[in-house]
Structure 1
Amino acid sequence: MSSISMVRGLVLISALVFVAAGLSLGEDAEKEMEEGTDAVYGVVITNASWVDEWVEISNLGDSAQDFTGWSLRDEQNHTYAFPEEFVLLPQGIVLVHTGVGDDTANDLYMNMGKPIWNNAGDVATLMDVDGRVVSQYPEPQEG
């Protein structure tokens, strides 16, 4: 086998490996998108009380999550912007209350003068700084 044939063979093999790796990376990115953004952040809405007017958000990840620029909204687009530099520690939980109060590490207040969540059922949507849906509660039914 000539050295030119060997080089062509190596180039072909390298190209095939590169294409295969590219397909694999594409599949991983697609899987991540299917799993939702919460797979990236590790942050999810874990509970809510429409009657008592609070939403529970948990950081199930191993890293602290800065919520600067994030928001929480209901189906009627009542929107709460998280305080600048609010950070939820790993394995931490925060309750976001509709009513008036003083923010702490575990309780945030929307300071709304009236209830916003529909007692018969509502959807809470957590969005990141880029406006992507991080989590919804209850989770949408696949159909």
Structure 2
Amino acid sequence: MWVDIDEASCKSSTLSLGICRQSVSTGEKMIMARAVSLIATVLLTAGIVTGTAVGPAAAATPCPSGEVCMYEGYNFTGTMRYMWPVEPGDCAGLTFKVLSVHNRSFEFQRLWANGNCTASNVLVAPGGKIGRPNFVVRSIGGR
């Protein structure tokens, strides 16, 4: 189990919160793992823990207003990631597979088959959805 002890007693096992590790049984480890998982879930659900500019979310999570939501599966299934709309004339290469897009931004967004906004493309209007494009989306550009 985790216990608070004075700093002098903490050696190389010190965590950033000033809590030290001690030997624990397998049962106690399972309880701690469940507790940590529950805390992480609560923090993520509350929005306290944030990601990078492109954040993942569960597919059941609605696409936030003002964002461009990208799904790893057809017809808005699988992992959802979202980002701010790309400005006109700019290009954002994607490092993950995108098979459907919901544009909840107020900007037109163009989906591209190549990572540098070239090749096959399709325009998605503000509020529009593409559930099954004819290609894997590799980049997004503003109009």
> Normalising by structure 1, what TM-score?
0.29
For CA contacts below 8 A with separation 6 or more, give which structure has more relative contact order.
Answer: 1
Greater share of helix: 1
Normalising to structure 2: TM-score of the pair? 0.29
Greater C-alpha radius of gyration: 1
